């Protein structure tokens, strides 16, 4: 990747929305009988944490007693909306800024307005200096006034912004002031001189809030553009941009160099604008999805000197399926596929999915290059044609073929897709078999009491028992491998995974169920915790993501479903405890596996005595046994029905504290049947 400036590159949020959850039907709705009579604009805790101040459109400030939850005092004196409130460092005074162009300094004990500072324009924000001697107020006339609280006089007027100042904050040492404005900038001021020290540019809309880190080395700014940026105070350099997407269901964090991390679907909801073209961020994931480098950036550490930088001069390749033609009807067990890949440098690799499953390594070995030549197609300068013969899923009449190509820098193309139809031979019937690997670890050999679980082993036993009962129904035979507690060693788990590689046929389905702890190493790699897990040697004793990926990519099954209930609370794991998002993404995109995750991001997976299971497994079993059979009610539970039921049921069981994520794998069929009820 060529290095260069990032000029012309911007990230575009495709879905940026904020939602307020309505109360669940079985929960009471809070009706305010006391308190403010209109919108609340600002809140602030007292330094001792015993009081809360709130400023409102009703022109009042209320001091709340947090021990009782009752209003302790109502401060009246403003003649306009109260937009900002702040406690003094000693907690004895409160400042409030208002639309009436005043700042009132309140004595909390006497409820008296000790001083009233008159401003030329609306006061949007107020902040005390750490020593309590100064007060800063941000005004609608683009200025910031520094007030001397001992004299009540203006000490300095800071002028540089081009629009209203929405937010102000002092650095912890009191030497700097940060201000955020409607002119889309943040300014760091040197309070000794009253001059701008740095002007931070990067937001595309007005700044709504700013805050220093406790050590004063970083500054965060929130904006109406939907993002939060974190800045290095000393250099003024942007460290990262944070995005909350799709009502908080997904997230993304990016660095100015183009590196990012995020939820499995996060990169699909934003796009990079490179020059005049727009590309989904996930097309850069092979090289630029680097949680390790994002973590370094967040710490303010420099990236490696040889780290590539995303520039406007590099764009992802393009893929097109030349054969078969979309809509073709044919007979036979194989189809010849030709894929064209074009790039500004060189296309080097092809990924092919058939009905959502990645082709096996054995089939990949048959890929032939039948064309590799320079072209002059706008931004594309080279073209490669891949050809291979692909076996089709036995008994499948509708076949979706999807191709993705990669260039020499591992940037990926658009997904090219065709759907073809096969005319089955008269009387052709495929007998399907099911292979189930169900693992649950409640008791861990090397973890203390607080690291043990209650129901993981029972969850695994119940799931294995349910699918065994599908023998003679949806599947001709069901083969069950059950490992619980001391049986679930790293060697045993890996041995069975690779045994499935040898035994499973292309007409078969595989179900994997894992209940227990999930954790990460220092490089943010996911591991499932087997019975003998040693926290001092996670890499040596845990079952790594690449083991799952390597085994499952070699299993030549028609469908693979993986259920992970591995985000259980366990204080002993500390910061090593991690969600399954990275595992999900790799299995889904690289191996064509449909993955059900027990929870979102870093949420905890709950288990309870009266349930007899974890919430996720309880909902899963209820759904498979028939409660998910809804649209239509036909005695079969489909993938789409189970997805909808499990997500809703777990959220209801846990009162919204646990929310499963079940992304459909690339090219997957939502009508795939998982269980027959009768």
Say how many C-beta atoms besides its own lie within 10 A of residue 50's C-beta: 13
Higher pLDDT residue, 584 or 655?
Answer: 655
Confidence class of residue 5 from pLDDT cuts 50, 70 and 90? very low
163 Cβ contact partners less than 8 Å away, ≥ 6 residues apart? 142, 181, 182, 183, 206
Min mean pLDDT across 28-37, 134-143, 171-180, 545-554 is at 28-37
3-state secondary structure of 295: helix
Tell me phi and psi for residue 596, to 5 degrees.
-100, 120
Q: What count of residues does the chain have?
A: 678
Mean pLDDT of 639-662: 88
Cβ atoms of 60 and 80 closer than 8 Å: no
Residue 405, pLDDT above cutoff 50: yes
Mean pLDDT of 497-524: 89
Cβ atoms of 307 and 293 closer than 8 Å: yes
Please name the CATH architecture into which domain 433-676 falls.
Answer: 3-Layer(aba) Sandwich (3.40)
- Confidence at residue 443, expressed as pLDDT on a 0 to 100 scale: 96
Mean pLDDT of 456-466: 96
3-state secondary structure of 510: strand
- Give the CA radius of gyration of the chain: 30
Domain 36-245 listed as CATH 2.130.10.10: yes
Domain positions in the chain: 1-16+246-300, 36-245, 318-422, 433-676
The string of pLDDT tens digits covering residues 103-129 is 999 999 998 999 999 999 999 999 999
Residue 6, pLDDT above cutoff 50: no
CATH number belonging to domain 318-422: 2.60.40.10
Distance CA 43, CA 53 (A): 5
Share of the chain above pLDDT 70, in %: 90
For the chain, what is the mean pLDDT? 87
Distance CA 79, CA 415 (A): 60
Min mean pLDDT across 82-91, 203-212, 305-314 is at 305-314
**Residue 265, class by beta-carbon neighbours within 10 Å (0-12 exposed, 13-18 middle, 19+ buried)?**
buried
- Confidence at residue 1, expressed as pLDDT on a 0 to 100 scale: 34
Distance CA 432, CA 454 (A): 35
Distance CA 56, CA 75 (A): 11
**Residue 480, class by beta-carbon neighbours within 10 Å (0-12 exposed, 13-18 middle, 19+ buried)?**
middle
Distance of CA 577 to the CA centre of its chain: 16
Cβ atoms of 605 and 616 closer than 8 Å: yes
- Confidence at residue 582, expressed as pLDDT on a 0 to 100 scale: 66
Distance CA 406, CA 418 (A): 19
Min mean pLDDT across 113-117, 262-266, 280-284, 460-464 is at 262-266
pTM tops 0.95:
no
Share of the chain above pLDDT 90, in %: 60
The string of pLDDT tens digits covering residues 188-222 is 999 999 999 999 999 999 999 999 999 999 999 99
3-state secondary structure of 673: strand
In SS3 terms, 571-640 reads as: HHHHHHECCCHHHHHHHHHHHCCEEEECCCCCCCECEECCCCEEHHHHHHHHHHHHHCCCCCCCCEEEHH
DSSP string, 335-399: EEEEEEEEESS-EEEEEEEETTEEPPHHHHTT-EEEEEEEEEETTEEEEEEEEEEEEPPTT-SEE
- Confidence at residue 532, expressed as pLDDT on a 0 to 100 scale: 97
Identical fold at 36-245 and 433-676? no
């Amino acid at each position: 990747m060529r290095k260069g400036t990032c000029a012309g590159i911007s990230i575009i949020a495709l879905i940026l929305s904020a939602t307020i959850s309505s109360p669940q039907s079985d929960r009471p709705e809070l009706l305010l009988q006391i308190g403010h009579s209109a919108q609340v604009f600002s809140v602030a805790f007292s330094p001792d944490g015993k009081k809360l101040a709130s400023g409102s459109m009703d022109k009042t400030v209320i001091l709340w007693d947090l021990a009782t939850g009752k209003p302790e005092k109502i401060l009246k004196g403003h003649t306009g909306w109260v937009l900002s409130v702040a406690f003094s460092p000693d907690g004895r005074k409160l400042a409030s800024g208002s639309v009436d162009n005043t700042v009132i300094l309140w004595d909390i004990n006497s409820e008296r307005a000790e001083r009233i500072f008159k401003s030329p324009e609306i006061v949007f924000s107020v902040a005390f200096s750490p020593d309590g001697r100064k007060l800063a107020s941000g005004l609608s006339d683009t200025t910031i006034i520094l007030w001397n609280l001992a004299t009540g006089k203006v000490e300095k007027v800071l002028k540089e912004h081009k629009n209203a100042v929405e937010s102000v904050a002092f650095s912890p040492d009191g030497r700097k002031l940060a201000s955020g404005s409607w002119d889309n900038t943040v300014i760091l001021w040197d309070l000794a001189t009253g001059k701008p020290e740095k002007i931070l540019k990067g937001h595309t809309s007005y700044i709504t809030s700013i805050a220093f880190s406790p050590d004063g080395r970083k500054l965060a700014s929130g904006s109406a553009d939907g993002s939060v940026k974190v800045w290095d105070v000393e250099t003024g350099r942007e460290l990262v941009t944070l995005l909350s997407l799709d009502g908080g269901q997904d997230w993304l964090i990016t660095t100015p160099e183009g590196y990012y991390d995020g939820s499995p679907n996060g990169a699909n909801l934003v796009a990079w604008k490179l020059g005049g073209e727009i590309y989904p961020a996930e097309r850069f994931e092979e090289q630029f999805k680097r949680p390790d480098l994002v973590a370094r950036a967040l710490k303010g550490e420099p990236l490696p000197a040889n780290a590539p930088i995303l520039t406007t001069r590099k764009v992802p390749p393009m893929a097109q399926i030349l054969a078969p033609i979309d809509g073709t009807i044919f007979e036979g067990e194989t189809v010849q596929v030709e894929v064209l890949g074009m790039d500004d440098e060189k296309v080097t690799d092809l990924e092919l999915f058939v009905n959502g499953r990645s082709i096996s390594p054995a089939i990949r070995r048959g890929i032939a290059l039948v064309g590799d030549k320079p072209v002059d197609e706008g931004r594309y300068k080279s073209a490669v044609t891949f050809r291979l013969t692909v076996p089709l899923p036995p008994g499948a009449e509708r076949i979706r073929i999807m191709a993705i190509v990669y260039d020499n820098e591992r940037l990926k193309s658009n997904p090219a897709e065709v759907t073809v139809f096969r005319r089955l031979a008269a009387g052709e019937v495929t007998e399907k078999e099911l292979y189930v690997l169900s693992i649950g670890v409640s008791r861990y050999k090397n973890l203390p009491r607080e690291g043990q679980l209650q129901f993981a082993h029972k969850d695994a036993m119940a799931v294995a028992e349910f699918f065994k009962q599908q023998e003679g129904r949806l599947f001709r035979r069901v083969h069950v491998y059950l490992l619980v507690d001391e049986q679930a060693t790293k060697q045993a788990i890996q041995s069975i995974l690779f045994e499935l590689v040898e035994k499973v046929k292309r007409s078969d389905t595989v179900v994997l169920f894992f209940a227990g702890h999930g954790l990460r190493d220092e490089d943010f790699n996911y591991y499932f915790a087997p019975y003998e897990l040693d926290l001092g040697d996670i890499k040596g004793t845990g079952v790594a993501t690449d083991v799952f990926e390597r085994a499952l990519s070699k299993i030549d099954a028609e469908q693979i479903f993986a259920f992970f209930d591995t985000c259980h609370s366990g204080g002993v794991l500390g910061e090593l405890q991690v969600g399954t998002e990275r595992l999900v993404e790799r299995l889904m995109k690289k191996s064509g596996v449909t993955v059900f995750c027990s929870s979102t991001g870093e949420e905890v997976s709950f288990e309870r005595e009266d349930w007899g299971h974890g919430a996720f497994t309880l909902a899963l079993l209820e759904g498979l046994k028939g409660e998910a059979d809804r649209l239509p009610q036909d005695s079969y539970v489909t993938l789409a029905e189970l997805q909808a039921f499990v997500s809703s049921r777990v959220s209801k069981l846990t009162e919204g504290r646990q929310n499963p994520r079940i992304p459909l794998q690339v090219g997957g069929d939502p009508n795939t049947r998982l269980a027959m009820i009768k």
